[in-house]
Amino acid sequence: MMSKQDMTRRLEAGLLLGRRVEGDRLMLDDATLGAALDGSRALTAAEREALQASPLTARRLQQLASARRARQAPRWQGSRGMLRAAAGGLAAGMALVTDDGWWTLHLVGSAADGWRAILQLAPQAPFAPGLLQQGAPLRVLDGAGQALLEGRLDADGECEVRWPFALAPDAHLQAHGAAFTVEPAGSAHP
């Protein structure tokens, strides 16, 4: 729950960033703003006043802070998972989770209606904000290196495609190493 003080700060920041000032320009350079962000140098009273008077400078500070957070976020390079379903086949579908717990591959549908593969990113994944912001293409490979899914995550952290193989998902995965990998598209796959 957000405290009243936090809510007040957030509203004030929104008002400052949203307003337009005639003749506004950047009042502080990136080096000064960067030093304030990393704590190596506090802003002087005059610099704080300039920041508050210039929405353009405040938006630049926000951009630099966002870029800094993105650089500090863990870099994700891929996740692996194993088929752990019962040998009885798919009833209404199944969900396979990667070993790190960051991705779920939902396989839904039927032989009669066709299968769908839905990749879902866990919102608590440390790299989720950066990955969603980048909109980078992803792929899911089976244990033999064949693409099960290729695409980009939507705003909800999901990507859905038609199942690309004639075999049902459980049979295909069993026949191809009973494993899957989620990785950035374009990654070198061994």
Q: Per residue of the chain (190 residues), what is the pLDDT tens digit?
A: 567 777 777 766 666 667 788 888 999 999 999 999 889 999 999 999 998 888 888 888 888 887 787 676 667 889 999 977 554 455 557 899 999 999 999 999 888 888 999 999 999 998 888 888 888 899 999 999 999 999 999 989 999 999 999 999 988 999 999 999 999 987 665 5
Q: Are residues 91 and 51 in the same domain?
A: no
Q: How many residues does the chain have?
A: 190
Q: Are residues 66 and 111 in the same domain?
A: no
Give domain status of residue 94, yes or no: yes
Residue after which a domain boundary falls, among 37, 72, 107: 72
Q: What is the pLDDT of residue 144?
A: 93
Q: What is the pLDDT of residue 87?
A: 44
Q: Are residues 179 and 87 in the same domain?
A: yes
**Beta carbons of 178 and 83 less than 8 angstroms apart:** yes
Q: Are residues 58 and 85 in the same domain?
A: no
Q: What is the pLDDT of residue 179?
A: 93
- Tracing tokens 């989620």 back to the chain, one arrives at 182
pTM beyond 0.85: the answer is: no
Q: Are residues 32 and 53 in the same domain?
A: yes
**Beta carbons of 159 and 118 less than 8 angstroms apart:** yes
Residue after which a domain boundary falls, among 27, 49, 72: 72
Q: Are residues 158 and 93 in the same domain?
A: yes
Give domain status of residue 189, yes or no: no
Q: Are residues 83 and 166 in the same domain?
A: yes
d(CA 147, CA 135): 19
Q: What is the pLDDT of residue 74?
A: 65
Q: Can you give the residue range of the structural domain that contains 171?
A: 79-184
Q: Are residues 92 and 149 in the same domain?
A: yes
Give domain status of residue 168, yes or no: yes
Give domain status of residue 190, yes or no: no
Residue after which a domain boundary falls, among 72, 92, 114: 72
Q: Are residues 83 and 68 in the same domain?
A: no
Q: What is the pLDDT of residue 98?
A: 95
Q: Give the total number of structural domains in the chain.
A: 2
Q: Are residues 83 and 147 in the same domain?
A: yes
